[in-house]
Amino acid sequence: MDTTQRRGRRIMMSAEELDAFLGEQRTCRVATVAADGRPHVGALWFAWDGTALWLYSITRSRRWAQLRKDPRISVVVDAGEDYGELRGAELSGAVEFVGEAPRTGEPCPELAVPERIFAAKNFGLDAMPHDGRHAWLRLVPESIVTWDFAKI
């Protein structure tokens, strides 16, 4: 085993640390792939329910159009300024579209938990406000890579 692998394992977050980290962070960077293979990266707010990362995206965006053609995505959530404070996670896989698009608030049991989490974290509200421009993407990660440099 090389030094890089040993260090990688040493700085990995536990499942509990990852849940806490994703629960407190607000912004992620989302990478999608255009039809010509070029990447596109943009920032979004998100909700984490312990199993899936929920992204609330504008349905008339480049991101939405690209994901309709190719649902593969990579998302990075990170924090820290100084080297010893750097921590983060990269979650990758394919998104699923959940609920109506755009979202108007029609009953959708699958969205009850993520909308409650998202509304509380980002708006300080008990219920999700719907603007008729956004809709939900669910990423159940196929791959998660984490780091916490405070462990070094």
Average pLDDT, stretch 89-97? Answer: 98
* Residue boundaries of the structural domains of the chain: 3-151
State whether residue 150 is helix, strand or coil: helix
CA proximity to 57, closest of 23, 93, 30: 30
Residue 84 has pLDDT above 50, yes or no: yes
- Report field, pTM of the whole predicted structure over 0.85: yes
Residue 12 has pLDDT above 50, yes or no: yes
Q: What is the pLDDT of residue 10?
A: 85
* CATH architecture of the domain with range 3-151: Roll (2.30)
Least confident of 6-15, 79-88, 100-109: 6-15
State pLDDT tens for residues 116-146: 999 999 999 999 999 999 999 999 999 999 9
